[in-house]
Chains A and B, each alone.
Chain A
Amino acid sequence: GLRPLVSTEAPPIIFATPTKLSSDFPVYDYAGKNKVPELQKFFQKSDGVPIHLKRGLPDQMLYRTTMALTLGGTIYCLIALYMASQPRNK
């Protein structure tokens, strides 16, 4: 979890409705929670990694698969077009 930047002690209640501190982060995770602030912190780490690989392993695997299929397909395509352009003598 995140270390709170301000004191987590409840401030003296001025109005009738108690307010919740924005630094209160429950450690457990459940669907429907706003994960955008943590993701913002994560993606803004200045580690020099380009955006398409920023998440590490899953990004790398998807990138390599895409590149392999695309480049492999291009080579296959050029060979297929070369063969298709050969005259077929009846």
Chain B
Amino acid sequence: MTHQTHSYHMVNPSPWPLTGALSALLTTSGLVMWFHHNSSFLLTLSMATNMLTMYQWWRDVVREGTFQGHHTPTVQKGLRYGMILFITSEIFFFAGFFWAFYHSSLAPTPELGGCWPPTGITPLNPLEVPLLNTSVLLASGVSITWAHHSLMEGDRKHMIQALFITILLGLYFTILQTSEYYEAPFTISDGIYGSTFFMATGFHGLHVIIGSTFLIVCFLRQLNYHFTSDHHFGFEAAAWYWHFVDVVWLFLYVSIYWWGS
């Protein structure tokens, strides 16, 4: 009967890195086919294979951690480093869009009228829905902290309630922002203002959706008793990601919605 004499996780051979990489190939070539050859078949296929890969890969991580006990403190430390590095890379991703915004808005060209917002653009009132959105995300930061403390104290009922509230607030933000997008008096093709506005807020909105999905997965796992009061890294990773999404919004609100109006 063999057993390992170290605390690291030697993973079973898995097909998901291959299917993930191939789905990335299908995504890139699918975009080419959609942009230039009027066909969305490859892109649809790529979305399907990507979703299937993500579902099965993360399902296996849950099996390995919660059911097989492979997530020793050493392994958990590695997972923490991984999540921190990933979020850091996302910070740099958003930094690019903020750079683009400040590059164009700090020195507006004569073509724009030499002013920001450019001539002809009516920006959204930062004290209306955008302010509500800010309060919604800040409140969700409070509720997720409540959920975490409840989890650490073994208070199952309140953890479930608090996490549920967090998810509802996330969904509320998404609905409000969708409505704002629909009602906005300018579009993505309205010059550099439209481009910077929708690229920055659009990618943020996508991250809210990703974060909400992560929270929903944690909610289902909590219902199924996967988390214990001292071992719940999946939840912590979701909470870190959620706080990151909140902070990006605060930068967006102050820079683009408030200063940029």
Contacts and interface: CB of A to CB of B under 8 A. Distances in A.
Interface of A: 32, 34-36, 39-40, 42-44, 50-52, 54, 62-63, 65-67, 69-71, 73-74, 76-77, 80-81, 84
Give the bracket for the number of chain B residues in contact with chain A: 35 or more
Interface stretch (B15-23, B128-136, B209-217, B250-258): B15-23
Contacts, number: 93
A9 to B, nearest CB: 27
A55 to B, nearest CB: 9
B225 A50 contact: no
B225 A52 contact: no
Contact of B48 (A44, A69, A80): A69
Main secondary structure of the interface of B (DSSP, over half): helix
Contacts of B22: 70-71, 73-74
B16 A52 contact: yes
B33 A80 contact: yes
Interface of B: 12-16, 18-19, 22-23, 25-26, 29-30, 32-33, 36-37, 39, 41-42, 45-46, 48-49, 52-53, 56, 60, 63-64, 66-69, 223-226
A42 to B, nearest CB: 7
A23 B56 CA distance: 32
A68 to B, nearest CB: 10
Main secondary structure of the interface of A (DSSP, over half): helix
A67 B15 contact: yes
B56 A77 contact: no
